[in-house]
Homo-oligomer: A and B are copies of this chain.
Amino acid sequence: MRDENPLETRNAGLRTLPRRVTDYGDVRAFTGAFDNLGEFENAAVRMRSAVPGESKMLPSIRAAIQACALKDGAVISFHHHLRNGDHVLEMVIAEIARAGLKNITIAPSSLFPVHAPLLQYLDSEVVTGIHTAYMVGPVADAVSRGALKKPATMCTHGGRARAIQSGDLRIDVAFVGAPTADAYGNINGVDGASACGSLGYAAVDVECARWVVAITDNLVRYPACPIDITQDHVDFIVAVDSIGDPRGIASGTTRPTTDPVGLQIARTAADVISLSGLLIDGFSFQTGAGGISLAVAAAVKDVMQRRNIRGSFASGGITGAIVDMFHAGLFRALFDVQCFDLSAVDSYRRDAAHLGMSASLYANPHNRGAVVNQLDAMILGAAEIDLDFNVNVTTGTDGIIMGGSGGHADAAAGAKLAIVTTRLNAGGYPKVVDHVTTLTTPGETIDVLVTEAGVAVNPRRGELRHRLVAGGLQVVPIEHLRNMAGHGASRPHQKSREERIVAVVEYRDGTVTDVVRAVA
């Protein structure tokens, strides 16, 4: 690998990267999934001590903005447990705009279509920076077209926790949407009209932010109980009419696919797990909330019940499908960073072994050991996967941001068996390609690709390949799947791009896997 242009560098995924990005800074190129482990320092945290007897209640979000002395250029954070039902981010930014502040960087753990009202604040430069692990909807579209002044930083869920703890991402004020809170700042996510369950993403913010403001629509007698976030991490509490619409929490797919192709892929993925040797007592599992993922869960459940296998834990964002497996005795515990649906919220409220976990405990690569490190099998989606098994879940083939790692790259790195499931084509585009449009998750951390036309095994995993072949699975070279995907595709791969960088894609350790350039 030669670097002929002094302004450019290449990372281990062989993406050409600028050495420096304006309004982002120097680019540390990704070199390998496990290269940056060792000694780390969690940054010092400055805070204000409480005065005994002094109230923490403030009459309005405006009063909280003033109490925290929020200034132009500040960084403020949000968590996304209310997902596409969240009202908090909009309320806060609107008040910041009314206060005349500019040049704010927002650091929500994710952004959804419900956050479309943010668009006007990008235009007016109230908000000029975004640091997030996932964004989809009008804001993501607008960022892709250059509506945000500075490049967005797209991190992973674990990388966000790492960045906050290390001081790479310094939060001036963390705004916490609190489904239930008391007047001294004890918070839970399980009670109230906006109950969303685990508050795992907010847990890191409140430990490291300069100021913490809880915004609640269910102010209860002291002490709120149970407690997800304790009072020693909260400066102020503001009561509002509504922090969100719980119907928006289950905003993704919540039912297993019924499509025959999807079902076939799911069954094959379950076969891969079954043949891997990992599906024994103590098995641990993570999957997302997509239709194929839920179908894989159903298929794995079936195998575990038939073989009388008792797993150890399931983790991640928790769905009703996983709760059902837990209730069926197939897992002893759930590690829940976020409830994907109301069935998960209900279980988190009732089941003692349905444990909340912080984003750091979940996936931070620089703490003393994240839960992803204990995962056996992880089911992952992909917008694209390439011949090196690199995965793109950040942009469409058209270059428009439509997601981001979330926990994708984290779980892939941690799990013993990281399985990508995808159809060969979607919307006319091939999904198995020569090179992914945007590199989100490095191929070295992906073990298997499962499609309707067969299974490809990462050449690094020869022993696994042998097991799958011996088990009768149709194992093919990934080039074969790339060829079939190309044959079935009809549309061009790319829209024209501008030079301007609209997002920097960070790996969980803060190195850069890719940049996203503006769509014309």
Give residues in A with beta carbon < 8 Å to B. 34, 37-53, 56, 184-185, 212, 221-223, 225-227, 230-235, 282, 312-313, 332-333, 335, 352-353, 355, 357-358, 360-361, 364-374, 413-414
Contact = CB atoms under 8 A, between A and B. Distances in A.
Contacts of A312: 221-223
Given A42-B47, A49-B367, A221-B282, 9 more contacts: A37-B49, A38-B48, A40-B48, A47-B367, A223-B313, A230-B357, A231-B368, A232-B360, A234-B368
B333 A232 contact: no
A442 to B, nearest CB: 14
A52 B414 contact: yes
B232 A332 contact: no
Contact of A38 (B43, B49, B361): B49
Contacts of A39: 46-49
A232 B282 contact: no
Contacts of A352: 225-226, 352
B41 A44 contact: yes
User: Which of A43, A51, A369 counts the most chain B CB atoms within 10 A?
Assistant: A369
B360 A226 contact: no
Tell me the interface secondary structure of chain A in the complex.
loop
Contact of A369 (B37, B50, B369, B373): B50
Contact of A232 (B38, B43, B364, B413): B364
A413 to B, nearest CB: 7
12 contacts: A39-B47, A39-B48, A40-B48, A41-B47, A50-B370, A56-B369, A184-B369, A221-B282, A226-B353, A230-B358, A232-B358, A352-B352
A222 to B, nearest CB: 6
A509 to B, nearest CB: 9
Contact of A225 (B232, B332, B414): B332
Please tell me how many copies of the chain the complex holds.
Answer: 2
Nearest to A56: B369
B226 A355 contact: yes
Given A185-B369, A312-B223, A333-B223, A41 B52 contact: no
B369 A227 contact: no
Contact of A333 (B41, B225, B358): B225
Contacts of A44: 41-44
A368 B47 contact: yes
Given A184-B374, A360-B232, A370-B232, A223 B46 contact: no
Given A42-B47, A49-B37, A413-B52, A369 B222 contact: no
A216 B252 CA distance: 42
A372 B232 CA distance: 11
A45 B41 contact: yes
A365 B222 CA distance: 19
Contacts of A333: 223, 225
Contact of A374 (B222, B227, B364, B370): B222
Contacts of A38: 48-49
A380 B398 CA distance: 70
Contact of A367 (B232, B355, B358, B361): B232
Contacts of A40: 46-49
Contact of A365 (B46, B49, B184, B413): B49
The 8 closest A-B pairs by CB, nearest first: A50-B369, A232-B367, A49-B366, A52-B373, A42-B45, A44-B44, A225-B333, A37-B49
Contacts of A373: 50, 52-53, 184
User: Which of A40, A366, A367 counts the most chain B CB atoms within 10 A?
Assistant: A367
Contacts of A413: 52
B368 A227 contact: no
Nearest to A353: B225
B366 A223 contact: no
Nearest to A371: B231
Nearest to A230: B361
Contacts of A234: 368-369
Contacts of A357: 230
Contacts of A223: 312-313, 332-333, 335, 355, 374
A227 B37 CA distance: 26
A46 B37 contact: no
A334 to B, nearest CB: 10
B368 A233 contact: yes
A92 B447 CA distance: 43
A199 B328 CA distance: 31
A77 B220 CA distance: 38
User: Which of A225, A355, A370 counts the most chain B CB atoms within 10 A?
Assistant: A225
A42 B45 CA distance: 5
